[in-house]
Amino acid sequence: MLSQKTRYTIRALQHLADRWRQGPVRLDAIAEAQNIPRKFLTVILSEMVREGLVISHRGREGGYELALDPVDVRYGDIIRLTRGSLALVPCAARNAHEHCTNCLPEAECRLRGLMLTLRDEMAAMLDRMSLADPIEVEAPFAEEREPA
Amino acid sequence: MLSQKTRYTIRALQHLADRWRQGPVRLDAIAEAQNIPRKFLTVILSEMVREGLVISHRGREGGYELALDPVDVRYGDIIRLTRGSLALVPCAARNAHEHCTNCLPEAECRLRGLMLTLRDEMAAMLDRMSLADPIEVEAPFAEEREPA
DNA sequence: CGATTGTCTACTAAACTGATAGAGATATAA
DNA sequence: TTATATCTCTATCAGTTTAGTAGACAATCG
């Protein structure tokens, strides 16, 4: 699962991407439009500024804007940034590799083999899509109803 | 990330798959070979028995065996079972669907759109692979060394 | 019987997560 | 130069989840 924080981050960045080159967007505007707790969003956006993905302006008329063209911000990058890695298992991370605890030697671990392949497939897709892509949304699933 | 428990589960099932039709395998044998804490493994295997994936035999010469032909146990099933869902976000689960908290309406959420596509890709791969597949392992990555 | 092996429920310590508090820094403009 | 609007940073917190353990119990075999 992506953490709530990662999800907020992605939606905040999408919000900024949609307003690319339209001047700074205030934190409160993002929080309200995206339904993200205000205080939590300050933490998230400050982090994005530190990471260089977002530029901030203080004072009147201040706010946030994307530091890069949306087309250059790929979802894979965002997730790697907030989560450390795309992999579903530490030993399958290609960037932030770590050994798993209580595992087999990596050279023998089929779970690792499988998870590496999966990671690469996920990466291929997530690194193909950027904040500039119009993602088609899908209708919500029919609501499951409580058994009467 | 997959939880440690899910990883243990998968490796335990792989162990049983490798010994399919060779009689019951004792818990201690699995724990030792797969480097899984003994007591924790009891919890895991009992759960698998309850789910019907594994059959147990008590007493002398007892142990565990897979309840199905390994070819019929797909990785997607195992993960759905232990983790509830393959999706990276609750609203993108096709089986165990749940709304995300503090999100946009699902019909408008691009994060959901993206995560649904990703989920489907992951599912395609994980449901194609079964415990019977010989997964090619990959050499461990070169060790990063501490800066001197 | 008694040794062996699995089953079940409860419990716990540690880590993580989501969120908030509040003092501080900076920019603008009147 | 002061008032105000904004963002920034560090600390803290309560709740949940996770990994793992304890220990009494049940079944099977010889």
Chain A residue with minimal CA distance to B120? A122
pLDDT tens string A62-102: 999 999 999 999 999 999 999 999 999 999 999 988 999 99
Read off the pLDDT band of B148 (50, 70, 90).
Answer: very low
Contact, A56 CB vs strand D, < 7 Å? yes
Please report the pLDDT score of residue B25 as a whole number. 98
As a rounded value in angstroms, the CA-to-C1' distance for B35 and C14 is 22
Distance from B60 to chain A by nearest Cα, in Å?
28
As a rounded value in angstroms, the CA-to-C1' distance for B24 and C7 is 17
CA distance A1 to B90: 8
Q: Which of A36, A111, A125, A129 to mutate to test the interface with B (most CBs of B within 10 A)?
A: A111
Distance from A95 to chain B by nearest Cα, in Å?
10
For the ranges A43-57, A131-145, B52-66, B110-124, the lowest mean pLDDT is seen at A131-145
Closest residue to C29 (CA, C1′): A60
CA distance A139 to A137: 7
For the ranges A135-139, B46-50, B58-62, the lowest mean pLDDT is seen at A135-139
As a rounded value in angstroms, the CA-to-C1' distance for A59 and D17 is 40
Chain B residue with minimal CA distance to A105? B140
Chain B residue with minimal CA distance to A108? B137
Q: Which of B16, B125, B135, B144 to mutate to test the interface with A (most CBs of A within 10 A)?
A: B135
Read off the pLDDT band of B138 (50, 70, 90).
Answer: confident
What HEC string does chain A produce?
CCCHHHHHHHHHHHHHHHCCCCCCECHHHHHHHHCCCHHHHHHHHHHHHHHCCEEEECCCCCEEEECCCHHHCEHHHHHHHHHCCCCCCHHHCCCCCCCCCCCCCHHHCHHHHHHHHHHHHHHHHHCCCECCCCCCCCCCCCCCCCCC
pTM across the whole model: 0.94
pLDDT tens string A10-62: 999 999 999 999 999 999 999 999 999 999 999 999 999 999 999 999 999 99
| Partner B, chain A 14-43, Cβ-Cβ below 8 Å | 14, 34-37
Distance from A66 to chain B by nearest Cα, in Å?
18
